């Protein structure tokens, strides 16, 4: 039996983990909508996919805006086909200690991670239900276990784990799985920005973090993309509601 051509949406895919995931899913044979806040920022990822022989579409949308999300998903369905794979990767950080954290910084992180994942999944699930097949993969973090200076981020990432487990229960009977990946320290644009904010040279910061990881190295974007690929695979249909820590050890 021939496998239907699948269409994936990856949010926050202009760079970092999102871009690496989009590239990997394209290599796996999926058509990929590369979604980011600004469409122009997503074009380099699309270009890389197309140059490698894949099919991709750059889409600009604020995942926290319901109208923008609906328009984006409708556009993907019209131009690439019905999306039955969603990777909720879009995220931001607004780190600070509790007594310094503003309401705006709390709300901004909740809006992108929690509201964004909710809106995107709600918009895409009808396509999955109609196809009787779907994959939702959401990015959490080891910060969900608690991390000083990240009260907003840790709370959002923990919330996404409950979000994932509930999706698995609600959507399972329609052939849709929902799983969560919790990365540890990954060498990416986001962690480089953290090093800059702390005033530490990137290589020193990365080496110091790697010392605390059992496999003795920093994670790479490809490590997370590989995990997404596993969850999205046709053969992973009996794996749902799981939280996979990709952190080089039991905690990192």
Residues with catalytic function: 153
Indicate the SS3 state at residue 62. coil
Please, where are the H alpha helices in the chain? Answer: 16-27, 39-51, 66-79, 103-110, 116-131, 151-171, 189-198, 202-211, 221-232
Q: How far is CA 114 from CA 120, 139, 154, 161, in A?
A: 10, 11, 12, 10
Any idea what DSSP says for residue 178? E
> Token pair of 57, please?
């579409």
Q: How far is CA 121 from CA 4, 109, 149, 162, in A?
A: 21, 18, 29, 14
Indicate the SS3 state at residue 194. helix
User: What sign results for the dihedral spanned by CA atoms 229, 232, 236, 241?
Assistant: positive
């Amino acid at each position: 039996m021939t496998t239907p051509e699948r269409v994936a949406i990856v949010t926050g895919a202009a760079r970092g983990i999102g871009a690496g995931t989009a590239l990997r899913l394209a290599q796996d044979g999926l058509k990929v909508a590369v979604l980011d806040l600004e469409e122009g920022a997503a074009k380099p990822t699309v270009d890389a996919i197309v140059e490698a022989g894949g099919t991709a579409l750059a889409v600009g949308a604020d995942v926290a805006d319901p109208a923008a999300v609906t328009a984006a998903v409708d556009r993907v369905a019209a131009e690439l086909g019905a999306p039955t794979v969603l990777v909720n990767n879009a995220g931001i950080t607004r780190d600070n200690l509790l007594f310094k954290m503003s309401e705006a910084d709390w709300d901004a992180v909740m809006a992108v991670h929690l509201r964004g994942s909710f809106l995107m999944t709600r918009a895409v699930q009808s396509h999955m239900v109609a196809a009787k097949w779907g994959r939702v993969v959401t990015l959490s973090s080891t910060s969900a276990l608690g991390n000083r200076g990240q009260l907003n981020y840790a709370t959002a990432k923990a919330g996404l784990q409950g979000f994932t487990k509930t999706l698995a229960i609600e959507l399972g009977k329609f052939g849709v799985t929902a799983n969560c990946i919790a990365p540890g320290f990954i060498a990416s644009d986001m962690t480089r920005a953290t090093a800059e904010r702390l005033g530490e040279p990137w290589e020193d910061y990365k080496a110091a973090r790697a010392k605390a990881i059992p496999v003795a190295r920093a994670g790479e974007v490809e490590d997370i993309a590989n995990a997404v690929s596993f969850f999205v695979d046709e053969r992973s249909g009996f794996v749902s509601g799981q939280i996979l820590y990709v952190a080089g050890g039991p905690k990192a």
